[in-house]
């Protein structure tokens, strides 16, 4: 039961961190592109600060550094996940749009799988005390992500609003 809970916590953390990656998919020809890039940079900076703080709290041993590096690299946002600009998307037929959306989802799912696997490898390298710290910290982050999604601030909350 505890391993299921731990996996769920880690997965939710990953999903929360992934939402920041999804937010970067704004077309660069948008009038708001500069503002979106600045927001993305701020989110990336906060994300890196959280990872640095987590590493400090975990008090990692030298033997855990390789799995930490793999974990943190998996948490980095992809440079750019393919997404058609709005005008191209509007010109597509409904089946073409659905195919494009499915392709984007497949890419996001692959990224999530990479993060999940790296998190599991890292989590397995932790001591019992470190796992408690990791679980506590990820639950705190996930709570914030779930709260913002429920308010409609998160990526999931935006999809249903037109």
Model pTM score: 0.64
Mean pLDDT confidence for 4-19? 48
Distances (CA, A) of 35 to 27, 28, 64, 118: 12, 11, 38, 32
130/12: higher pLDDT: 130
Spell out the domain ranges in the chain. Answer: 2-159
pLDDT of residue 86: 84
Distances (CA, A) of 39 to 21, 32, 78, 122: 12, 11, 16, 29
151/108: higher pLDDT: 108
Mean pLDDT confidence for 106-132? 94
Residue with tokens 């993305």: 40
């Amino acid at each position: 039961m505890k391993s299921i809970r731990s996996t769920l916590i880690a997965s939710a953390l990953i999903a929360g961190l992934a939402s920041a990656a999804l937010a970067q998919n704004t077309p660069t020809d948008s009038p708001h592109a500069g503002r979106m890039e600045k927001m993305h940079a701020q989110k990336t900076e906060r994300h890196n600060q959280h990872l640095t703080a987590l590493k400090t709290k975990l008090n990692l041993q030298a033997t855990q550094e390789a799995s930490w590096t793999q974990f943190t690299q998996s948490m980095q946002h992809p440079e750019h996940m393919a997404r058609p600009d709005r005008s191209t998307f509007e010109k597509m037929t409904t089946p073409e749009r659905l195919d494009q959306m499915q392709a984007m989802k497949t890419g996001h799912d692959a990224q999530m799988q990479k993060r999940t696997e790296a998190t599991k490898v890292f989590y397995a390298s932790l001591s019992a005390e470190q796992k408690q710290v990791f679980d506590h910290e990820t639950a705190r982050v996930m709570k914030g992500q779930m709260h913002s999604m429920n308010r409609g601030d998160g990526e999931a909350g935006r999809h249903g609003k037109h």
